[in-house]
């Protein structure tokens, strides 16, 4: 059982009912504190910061078009309910928390029905359509990465109120933090608007993003995070919408967007190595998570994973529909979403997320030991 729970001598006068009550209380303590038998790494909670890939519904509470709390999103989720997750079902982060034996789902921090147990075991601060570039979040009216840190600061005060200062400090220190954004910076802010590409070439804009990501990681560490997984940018030139918009008549992967993603990933790997040598990061686990190659493999070799389609989404034509364009009124869905890598023109299906999560767990869990 958990190290927090001492052995209690049981009196011979205890009856069957008392044993049952005691067992129920002890079980709830173990479950709430995050020490299930499957939680081998003793990670009490998971917290995520980033964009729509890991936003489970924070954008539901914002005045933005970047939301999906309507059908057919959530078609294969529990109860077939749209929750604000940008997929047909669970996200990779849901599979991560269940893979670590913490809980089944990672809820959004802004969810009005958060329970004390939700707060004790982790939440997501991610906001779809945000980025490292502050302009990216402003253009879509979503929560910036700085804003997500402010919410984390608010969360820490709530945690102290329900867990006490000592337990709250332990949760903050020993939990796992996942950071993943940058896609919208490149696809939307740089390539789709004139605000950045008239002042930056791709390498200089990537340097700007890296500087912002580096600043975010330093602030996250100052706020108590000691176990941080940093997710790279995926092969965004190969997502269905970019194939449609800039991939030519054959809808091929667009190389400039992929090259920008690869450049960012390469420079962030170097940056993470540099941060690891800084005094302020001493005793910190800071690991780069390669998302680019696992998703690219799903796209290039779909049949090896049980997929049949990797160039179109399941929703509508699969060419351009995402967020409000993917709706149950104007867009039908494919007969079998398990055959598709992408749910809409930008986000993977639950099945693809499961494969990505399994890859992350099998490849990087050892870094937490």
Q: Tell me which residue has tokens 């340097």.
A: 207
Give the SS3 label for residue 49: strand
User: Which residues are CB-contacts of 277 (< 8 A; sequence separation ≥ 6)?
Assistant: none
344 is catalytic: yes
Reading phi first (left if > 0) and then psi (alpha if -120 to 50, else beta), residue 321 is in beta
User: Prior bond to 72 cis, omega within 30?
Assistant: yes
Catalytic residue among 55, 118, 185, 344: 344
- Catalytic residue (choose from 51, 52, 94, 144): 52
> Which residues lie closer than 8 Å to 60 by C-beta, 6 or more apart?
67, 69, 83, 84, 108, 110
Q: How far apart are CA 285 and CA 268, in angstroms?
A: 15
| Nearest CA-CA partner of 50 in 311, 234, 323 | 234
Q: What is the largest CA-CA distance in the chain?
A: 80
List active site positions.
52, 344, 347
């Amino acid at each position: 059982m958990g190290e927090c729970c001492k052995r209690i001598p049981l009196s011979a006068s205890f009856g069957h009912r008392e044993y049952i009550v005691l067992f129920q209380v002890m079980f709830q303590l173990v479950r709430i504190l995050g020490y299930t038998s499957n939680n081998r790494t003793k990670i009490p909670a998971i917290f995520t910061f980033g964009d729509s890939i890991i936003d489970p519904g924070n954008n539901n509470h914002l005045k933005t078009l970047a939301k999906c709390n309507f059908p057919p999103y959530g078609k294969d989720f529990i109860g077939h309910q749209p929750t604000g997750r940008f997929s047909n079902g669970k996200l990779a982060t849901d599979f991560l928390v269940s893979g670590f034996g913490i809980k089944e789902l990672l809820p959004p921090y802004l969810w009005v029905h958060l329970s004390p147990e939700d707060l004790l075991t982790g939440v997501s601060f991610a906001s779809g359509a945000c980025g490292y570039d502050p302009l990216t979040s402003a253009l879509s009216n979503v929560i910036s990465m700085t804003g997500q840190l402010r919410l984390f600061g608010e969360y820490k005060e709530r945690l102290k109120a329900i867990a006490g200062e000592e337990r709250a400090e332990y949760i903050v220190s020993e939990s796992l933090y996942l950071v993943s954004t940058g896609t919208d910076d490149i696809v939307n802010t740089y390539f789709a608007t004139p605000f950045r590409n008239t002042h930056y070439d791709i390498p200089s804009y990537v340097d700007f993003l890296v500087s912002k990501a580096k600043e975010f990681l330093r602030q996250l560490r100052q706020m108590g995070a000691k176990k941080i997984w940093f997710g790279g940018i995926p092969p965004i030139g190969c997502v269905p919408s970019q194939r449609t918009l800039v991939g030519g008549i054959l809808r091929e992967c667009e190389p400039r967007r992929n090259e920008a993603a690869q450049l960012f990933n390469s420079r962030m790997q170097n940056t993470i190595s540099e941060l690891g040598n800084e005094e302020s990061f001493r005793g910190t686990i800071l690991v780069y998570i390669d998302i680019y190659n696992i998703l690219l493999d799903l796209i290039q070799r779909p049949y090896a994973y049980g997929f049949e389609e990797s160039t179109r989404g399941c929703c509508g034509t699969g060419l351009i529909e995402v967020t409000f364009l993917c709706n149950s009124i104007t867009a039908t869905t494919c007969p079998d979403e398990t055959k598709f890598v992408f749910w809409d023109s930008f986000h993977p299906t639950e099945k693809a997320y499961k494969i990505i999560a399994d890859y992350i767990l099998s490849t990087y869990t050892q870094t937490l030991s």
